Amino acid sequence: MSKIISGFSKFSKDEKVDWLLKNYFTNSSEALKVIQQYWNDDEKLQQLHDDFIENTITNFYMPFGVAPNFVINNREYTIPMVLEESSVVAAASLVGKFWSTRGGFKTTVIGTTKIGQIHFMFAGKKEDLKSYFAENKTELFAATASITQNMEKRGGGILDIKLVDKTDKLANYYQLHITFETKDSMGANFINSCLEAIAKKFEKDDIEIVMSILSNYVPECLVRAEVSCKIEELGGENPQKFAEKFYQAVKIAEIEPYRAVTHNKGIMNGIDAVVLATGNDFRAIEAGAHAYASRSGTYTSLSHCTIHNGVFKFWIEIPLALGTVGGLTALHPMAKFSLELLQKPSARVLMQIIAAAGLAQNFAALRALTTKGIQHGHMKMHLQNILNQFDATVEEKEEITAYFDKRTVSHSAVVEKLKSLRKPKVKWVDFLDFDTIKYKLSTLSEDSKPVFGQMNAQQMIEHLSAVTQIANGNWNINVFVSDEKTARRKPFLQTENELQTGFRASFIADEPIKLKFSSIEIAIDDLLYQLQSFLLVFKRDKNRTVVHPFFGELNFEEWKKFQVKHFTHHFKQFDLL
């Protein structure tokens, strides 16, 4: 069946979902359940979300966290962050608090200029094009009057229009390079509308407009965030050594593109999270930031560090074209919530807050890398994700979190610990509870079949009795167990591990022993007698030790531990637990 469809966008939401389920899911009821559980019960709110993009079938949740304790230009902030990666919010929070007692973040907006371009082809004389542009430049401004009037009232608008010759790169290729100030608006729609109006006015028979579009590369829409303190105020066992390693790590990112990409990704962890929370375009921010990192011709670090005269300084300069009005910031309830949480900042202030968040995340990553290693903290935070992946209960989460408090977290270690918790608890047999032993064994008969092994029921009982006689001193086994083997084997007795199926000491014959007694009942009585003797002989001599044929020399407590494991093993053999 073909999955190519026409008119899908005209389907209702339910029809779209129904078509997807029929064509792509084997368990359509389960898939429908997943889709519907993310619908908002508030129909009006759900409709708002449905209208953000096309062909919406459900919502995709992302965690909304907050990072408190930020001090930026002497003002306190709690910063909203939306992302799926563990440890980012926690790291930002810790760094925010760290620098709050060391002067906080100092931020400055260097510029807010944004850029749009009209790309066109012209095959005539360059002098004629220059003259045409100069003669019509005023008219180009005028062509946008109806679009720019409201922006100009807020102090924004078109700053300049320049003719740029790019024919050395591409034959007949020119640009109109236009700069804008959009104040608190990100301004994408405003800029593109202005560009189209200017292009329409500028175009003529020998000027072919290729396209008109804003640029997400905004090197003049720039913000700086910085932290600094005396080196000794960095704390730790050796602040000077830490500062030097930190400085070296930043320098490596400045000269090594492979490192710089990951270095800057860490910065964007902090930046994108706040950009998303405030309803801004994180993809545009990402593109502009990475282009800025490559402006020298080599991809390099967005952050920088110096150590001079005993002062540690760490800063970032990054282009951030943001808005606090219009677009999703005005529509999405959580975007509005975020901006209110940030005390209703202007676009300039939001630039500074977001730059500080990026610098904080970079500081956290570099501090971890140059001290304990990045995985130490990251995996601690990732622990809950691993536990959720395996549907850990509240009790399991509490126990495992406590277990890894001072241990290194790894996926395999967490899974192993979880498996150990979920491993069925062994019902150890109390071999000195004579009444229970007698009752359990008396349920056996000649017809009882073993779950494993070759012994019949009476042979198993007589075997337990025979091994007990070794401890009692009534059966001397001529077996030597070296000290090396004893040292290696005896620790097993202190564990919660069971004797494995198929375990057989060397003194045990391959074939089951011949029966000693005429009935199971007599064999049980003999076993109980041997157990009573076991207690008696060790009571008479508390320092008594007897060599076990596999584990070596054992005292009373060690023999008891062995007997518990041995009885449990054989009770399982006949399903008596």
Reading the block at residue 416, the tokens are 């192993």
Task: Give the number of other CB atoms < 10 A from CB of residue 43.
Answer: 10
**One-letter-per-residue 3-state SS of 182-216:** CCCECCHHHHHHHHHHHHHHHCECCEEEEEEEEEC
Which residues, in sequence order, are CB contacts of 507 under 8 Å at separation 6+?
477, 479, 549
Q: Count how many Cα atoms sit within 13 Å of the Cα of residue 511 in the half-sphere of its side chain.
A: 2
Note whether 201 and 178 are within 8 A (CB).
no
The Cα 90–Cα 79 span in angstroms is 12
The Cα 80–Cα 276 span in angstroms is 9
The Cα 190–Cα 147 span in angstroms is 7
Reading the block at residue 336, the tokens are 């509005």
Minimal CA–CA distance to 496: which of 421, 433, 552, 551? Answer: 421
Reading the block at residue 188, the tokens are 């994408």
Residue 574: φ, ψ to 5°: -115, 25
Task: Give the number of other CB atoms < 10 A from CB of residue 182.
Answer: 26
**One-letter-per-residue 3-state SS of 400-448:** HHHHCCCCCCCHHHHHHHHHHHHCCCCCCCCCCCHHHHHHHHCCCCCCC
Instruction: Name the residues annotated as catalytic.
Output: 85, 265, 281, 378
Residue 213: φ, ψ to 5°: -160, 145
Beta bridge partners of 221: none
The Cα 12–Cα 38 span in angstroms is 18
Q: DSSP 3-state assignment of 158?
A: strand
Which residues, in sequence order, are CB contacts of 466 under 8 Å at separation 6+?
475, 513
